[in-house]
Structure formats: structure tokens, C-alpha cells
Amino acid sequence: MKKISVLLAANIPGPYDYLVSDDLDIKFGFFVRVPFRNKELIGIIWDDSSENIEKSKLKEIIEYYPSFKLSETIIDFIKFFSRYNFTSLGKTLKLFIPQTYLIEDIKTLKKYKIDKKKIGNINITNARQSVLDLFEEPSNLFSSSEIIKTAKVSPSVIKKLIEEEVLISVDLVSQQSFIKVEHKKFNLNTDQSIAAKNIISSMGDKNFKRFLIDGVTGSGKTEVYFEAIEEALKRNKQSLILLPEISLTESLFERIKIRFGFEPSLWHSDLSKTKRRKIWQDVYYNNAKLVIGARSSLFLPFKDLGLIVVDEEHDNSYKQQEGIIYQARDMAISLGSFERVPVVMVSATPSLETVLNIKEGKYKNLSLPERIGKASLPDINFIDMRDEEYIKNQWISEKLKTEIQKTLGRKEQSLIFLNRRGYAPVTLCKSCGYRLECPKCDSYLVEHKYNPKLICHQCGFSIKPIASCSECNSKDSLVACGPGIERITDEILKNFPEARIATLSSDNAKDTNIVLKDMRNGLVDILIGTQIISKGHHFPLLTCVGVIDADLGMANGDLRAAERTYQLLHQVSGRTGREKRPGKAFLQTYFPAHPVIKSLVSSQKENFQEAELKTRKINNLPPYGKLASIILSDTDSLRLIKFCKIMKAAIPFSKEIIVLGPVPAPITKVRGRVRYRFLLKTNKAVNLQKYIEFWINIIKKPSSIRLTVDIDPYYFL
């Protein structure tokens, strides 16, 4: 028996030693299943063991999977990911192999062809003739289920033809399914052609370059990176398209079918076990040439990756906030550097990090300044709500109502945007002023009317609507304050009773594809939605966009608040006027002089970016400086405060790093745990991870306290 080192796919600090038979040719990166304490875990063969442990104290591996191994490139990426995001190697490996069943044997796809020599030996019934008709072309192959469905015959007919050797099975390796469609390739305009040629020229062997397709909304950015994907397909390389929202996949899926004639693989959290395993193995065996996915698709075991596309690269959804905290856009760029392949970022409102990288010459900017065809950019206007007459429980201005009515009269569509779920964000007692709060979090309960509940959007706690105040026992004294998307929908229904109206938010996410399809097909007159409708969608008849509270999110203490608001409002405004019909957008605001509103109305994106970058540079904030957060939580506030004082006293001295805190988090209690925060600030050249590791290792942390490190934080609550 020989000793090997195994990195386990679990929240375990490092590799463990095991024994394996001398006969097995065990190699670095191969998968194994091993005993660990009272369970079995999956891992990979790691570096040679440096532990001096007697073999008699080691356990043997249970199973060896010679069919699956992670490449050295992926392993190097795992090591980098672990170091950069301050997480263990084992937890990082689990991103790549989250479930054991992914490496279990998968049944080969069995299809049937016909042996014409045997036809003369059988009795041909009507049912059998229906089957034979499917095989007029000698190359035709069908599974048994396809034959049953198409020929409209019973399984017994198929079974008998197989027994009589008329139908002969053919085992196929599962591949992305090609469909019989006429490939539709669009003619690119000059700007699109230049952009596509730049990307394609970089797609040589092991050539890592970074591009930004910086195009206005509706400028045909997708068609540009389709050209690069076509080049990757010609080279027999795999491509990955990252999207921030699963809701964007369906329309892109259909466009790819039309453009390339096959169905791409979709990777997301809602996949069944069977489908997930199939896609994982298709990617591993290089049978899946094009994958569309959310953040987790970064961790698929690509065999021969040739291109990475990060669509809507500015979107905050790329920042993973739960479990392992990481920025998927940045990690996609890192993966591209390890794989030595081009990374193409796409946005109409690029992040300031990307804008600065272009200024510094690290990324190449590919500009698409005009919309394709005859479409023109929307006319963006503000509605000064200070000039509007206040009417109780009305949130839509008279001017916006008039524009919606005009739009209905032209048989065109309107989109009403409010980035706030539910019916009302706060419910208070008009007798004593008490606000209904979550018992587990420092958050108000949000009233939901369509699914009648009061819900905490931090932890998910919910109760049924109540009639009396729990503080003063006053009856019928509870009042819903402020608008949520459901309240806006009620107001729209009241003012436009004849219109076809739909609502879309994460609360009814299961209806997303249906609603979006109806909107694209002109079956909806007015769509009311949250940020789920703000990006990537193309609605041909949409000519009017109204933003109910354009100021929402601009004053929340977040360093990216203005940037985030600008991006969101620009994106939602860009949904309108994307074809021949001109579009308008109306921003309801109490602060029309705010730089965000002024930049949007004047279409001066570059001026806004320059002003924001200047402010960040003065204050040494990202993208010029570097931040990290340390979040500590415990169920006992006194124990937590005591430990925070110990941590503060142990802060290592550094001339280059400023440590702020500890302070209570703005939302101090979440899910019953009290939270305190440290914020570390430095310049980009400093290794914050190494500093934090040294600091944490000199303190003994109580087991009840959770400590989370967030490198490059996007969330400060």
C-alpha cells in the first residue's frame, strides 16, 4: 500500500492522507471517494503528502474514478480562488464537485436505426409501417420514446421490432442537440464588424486578452460575441456565456438556436439531478460546446475552453453574498488568465472597475455608439414630484398617467418600474407609531397583498396579516406606508381598467418566462416590475418607460450607490424604443439636480463616469483603492462585543492599511444573530488577504462566533 494526499470537497482546511493499492496508477487531480469520520466524501488526488504519519493509522480509499480528473489549470485556479477569496481549498473544490452523483456513470443515449435486410422477414402491420416510414433516410436515428411519440405506436410494437432485429440499437455519447432550422446570421454594421474582428483575431492558441463591448442599449452587442462563439465552434473549442439572471437565459437560448442551429446547455440551480449530471459530464467530455449559466457555471470542468463572455458585466448579481463570497465577473477574468483564453465583457453601463481598466490599457474597448437599424435612443425626461399635487395613496404622477394613456391609444406598450417588492415596505400603528418588525432581524416586515403575508426580506420570516397592534392593542389601527410593486399594480388597474396588465418580480419568478414571452408577443399592454425586467430584454412594442421612485437607492451609505442607480435607471430606460417606434422614459424624482438624474436626462454617461471616478480617487476607494470587510456574528451580543474588543486590540500595525471599526452592522440583527463589522482600506498593491490571515491566526475565536471575510465588498448592510 502506498500513501497519497487527498483534498476533500468539504469545509475542511486542507488535504488528508490515505492509503491506496500499489497496483493503482493514481495521478494528481483524479477523483476518489474516501471515508472521513462517520461518512464518505469525494475528493481529488492532491500534492504529495508532507505529513509524517504511520501507514497503520491511515484509512484506505473506497473508490477511484479513473474517468474523471481536474486539469492542472483548473487546480491552479482553485488555489488562486481559495487564496483571493479567503476561503478553504476544500470549500473551493466543492464548487467544482458539489454532488457525488455528478461523477457517477451516466447511461449512454440509445437510439435506433433500421436494418432494411430484415424487413422482408416480418409481417408489416399499419403500426409497423408507421415506424418504418420514420426511417426513409438511412441516416435517421430515433430513441424509442421518439418513435412512440412520432409514429403514434405502443411500446410493444417497438419491443417486437427490436426482438426481430429490424430496429438495431446505436449507443451514442450524449451531445448538444442539433435542430433542423435555417441558420439566421445577421449582417453586422461597421462598428459591430470591427468589434467582432478584434475579438476573433485574439482567439489564437493560449491568448489571454480582455475586451469590453461598450454599446448603447439595442446596439447589437450580442451579435458581436456570437461571431466570436462561431469562431470558437470552428476551432472545436468550448464557450461560456455568464449571465447575471436566470430570467435572461430563455430569450438568449432561443436566439442561439436560430443563430447556430443547436441548443446550448443551460446551467443553473433549478436543474434536476439527471439533467445536472448530464450537462456536467457533457462539459467534461467536450460534448457541450456552448454553455449559458449563472455564477456557478464558472466551476464546470471545461475540457477545452476557448472563450468566456460576461454579459451585463456591471450587474451586482455577479457578487455572491451567501456561503463563499466572490465576484463572478472578476473570477471569470481570472479563469480566462489561467486558461489563456479571451474574456469578453458586455455592457451598456460598464462598471467603474472596467472603465478604469480600459483607461489604464488593461482592457480593449469595443464601442457600439448607435442602435442597430432605424432604432433611436430613447428620450429620457424627469418628472419633478415636488411640482405634483399630493394625493393620498397615489404614487403615479398625472404626467406619467397621461403618457401611459397616449401609449395605449397607439396600441404600444408601457413598462412601469419600481425596485421594491411587495405591497408596502412598512406597516405602522397610527395610534402608537409602532412599526411591525421581524423578531429575528432589524428589518421591517413588508406587506404582501397577492400572497397575503407580512414578510421579512432579510430572513424570510412571515406571518399572516394582523388586525390589531401588538404593542398598544388598538384595533384596525395598522396602516400600510409607502409603495411596493403590488401597490403600484393596484393603482394601474384602477386607472387603466381596460388594459392588459402583468406584474413581474422575484416573488412570482416562476411566471417570468411566460410574462416575458407575452410581453414580447404584444399580449401585455402595461408591465409593472422590479429590477428583474431592467436588463437584457427586447420588447418590440415598448415605447414608454416610467420609473416610480428614481431616487430609491441613491442615499444608502453605499460607495457604489450613485453608480448602481445610474446603471439601473439607464438599463430600464433602454428597454424602450428598440425598433422603429421612438421611445420615451420618465423618471419620477424629488432631486432632479442630482448628478445621476442630470446625466441620464442629458445622455452624458462619460461625464457621470468621470465625476464618479474623480470622487473615488480622492478618497482612495475602489477601483483605485482596495477594501475588505470582516463580519462577526453571534446570538449573544455581549459575547460578540467582548470578542470584537479583543480583535481590535490585536490589529497588526501597518502603515499602509487602515482598519475601521468594529461597529454594529447597519442591519445589526439577521436571523437571530447580532452582527458587527470591521472595514479594511488600503491601496491595490497591498496583500490584504495575507494581513487578515495573520491577524485572525493570533486570536482564539469562540466557537459560537461566525467570522466571514468579504474581499472587495459590494454589500455594506
Domain annotation covers residue 434: no
Picking from 368, 402, 436, the residue at the C-terminal end of a domain is 368
Domain annotation covers residue 442: no
Q: pLDDT category, 176, cuts 50, 70, 90?
A: low
Q: For position 23, which CATH number holds? A: 3.40.1440.60
- Residues 6 or more apart whose CB falls under 8 angstroms from that of 170 comprise 110, 111, 112, 113, 141
Whether a cis peptide bond, with omega within 30° of 0, leads into 540 is no
Q: Which of 308, 306, 331 minimizes the C-alpha distance to 318?
A: 331
- Cross-strand pairs, 347: 214
Per the CB < 8 A criterion, the answer to whether 239 and 306 are in contact is: yes
Domain annotation covers residue 459: no
Using the predicted structure, report yes or no on whether residue 181 has a pLDDT greater than 70. no
| 173: three-class secondary structure by DSSP | coil
Q: pLDDT category, 107, cuts 50, 70, 90?
A: low
Amino acid at 243: L
Amino acid at 470: S
Q: Which of 340, 280, 338 minimizes the C-alpha distance to 306?
A: 340
The three grid cell numbers given for residue 442, joined into one nine-digit string: 432589524
Strand order across the 2-8 sheet: 16-20, 2-8, 39-45, 30-36, 63-69
Domain identity same for 647 and 555: no
Domain annotation covers residue 620: no
Using the predicted structure, report yes or no on whether residue 180 has a pLDDT greater than 50. no
The three grid cell numbers given for residue 334, joined into one nine-digit string: 481570472
Per the CB < 8 A criterion, the answer to whether 375 and 539 are in contact is: no
Q: Which of 212, 538, 599, 215 minimizes the C-alpha distance to 370?
A: 215
Structural domain boundaries, residue 85: 2-103
Using the predicted structure, report yes or no on whether residue 671 has a pLDDT greater than 90. yes
Amino acid at 322: E
Domain identity same for 658 and 706: yes
The total number of structural domains that make up the chain: 5
Per the CB < 8 A criterion, the answer to whether 363 and 355 are in contact is: no
pLDDT at 525: 97
The three grid cell numbers given for residue 20, joined into one nine-digit string: 491506496
pLDDT at 626: 97
Domain identity same for 393 and 505: yes
- Cross-strand pairs, 379: 584
66/53 Cα distance (integer angstroms): 26
Per the CB < 8 A criterion, the answer to whether 709 and 679 are in contact is: no
Distance of CA 667 to the CA centre of its chain: 24
Picking from 563, 592, 613, the residue at the C-terminal end of a domain is 613
What are the tens digits of pLDDT across the range 5-28? 999 999 988 899 999 888 887 889
Domain annotation covers residue 180: no
The three grid cell numbers given for residue 310, joined into one nine-digit string: 460576461
Domain annotation covers residue 468: no
Domain identity same for 205 and 155: no
Q: pLDDT category, 198, cuts 50, 70, 90?
A: very high
What are the tens digits of pLDDT across the range 618-667? 999 999 999 999 999 999 999 999 999 999 999 999 999 999 999 999 99
Over residues 436-458, the mean pLDDT reads: 92
Q: For position 488, which CATH number holds? A: 3.40.50.300
Using the predicted structure, report yes or no on whether residue 563 has a pLDDT greater than 50. yes
DSSP track, 408-470: HHTT-EEEEE----SSBSEEEETTT--B-B-SSSSSBPEEETTTTEEE-TTT--EE---SB-T
Domain identity same for 223 and 325: yes
Alpha helices in 152-219 (DSSP H): 155-163, 190-201
The three grid cell numbers given for residue 243, joined into one nine-digit string: 449571465
Domain annotation covers residue 445: no
Q: pLDDT category, 277, cuts 50, 70, 90?
A: very high
What are the tens digits of pLDDT across the range 697-715? 999 999 999 999 999 999 9
What are the tens digits of pLDDT across the range 31-87? 999 999 889 999 999 986 666 778 888 899 999 888 899 999 999 999 999 999 999
118 vs 308, more confident: 308
Whether a cis peptide bond, with omega within 30° of 0, leads into 623 is yes
Using the predicted structure, report yes or no on whether residue 174 has a pLDDT greater than 60. no
Domain identity same for 141 and 277: no
Over residues 178-201, the mean pLDDT reads: 81
Domain identity same for 82 and 225: no
Beta-strand relationship, 526-529 and 413-417: parallel
Over residues 95-106, the mean pLDDT reads: 86
Q: pLDDT category, 535, cuts 50, 70, 90?
A: confident
Q: For position 635, which CATH number holds? A: 3.30.70.600
Domain identity same for 260 and 309: yes
Q: Number of C-alpha atoms within 13 angstroms, CB side, residue 436?
A: 30
The three grid cell numbers given for residue 174, joined into one nine-digit string: 450524449
Per the CB < 8 A criterion, the answer to whether 195 and 224 are in contact is: yes
Q: Show the CA angle centred on residue 209, arms to residues 203 and 215, nearest 5°.
A: 95
What are the tens digits of pLDDT across the range 138-156? 667 888 878 888 888 888 8
Domain identity same for 595 and 629: no
Domain identity same for 330 and 408: no
End-to-end CA distance of the chain: 53
Q: Which of 493, 490, 488 minimizes the C-alpha distance to 525?
A: 493
Domain annotation covers residue 716: no
What are the tens digits of pLDDT across the range 465-481? 888 898 898 988 999 99
Picking from 567, 587, 613, the residue at the C-terminal end of a domain is 613
Domain identity same for 593 and 659: no
Using the predicted structure, report yes or no on whether residue 556 has a pLDDT greater than 70. no
pLDDT at 171: 55
Average pLDDT, the chain: 91
97/331 Cα distance (integer angstroms): 17
What are the tens digits of pLDDT across the range 231-268? 999 999 999 999 998 877 878 998 999 899 889 999 98
Domain identity same for 77 and 220: no
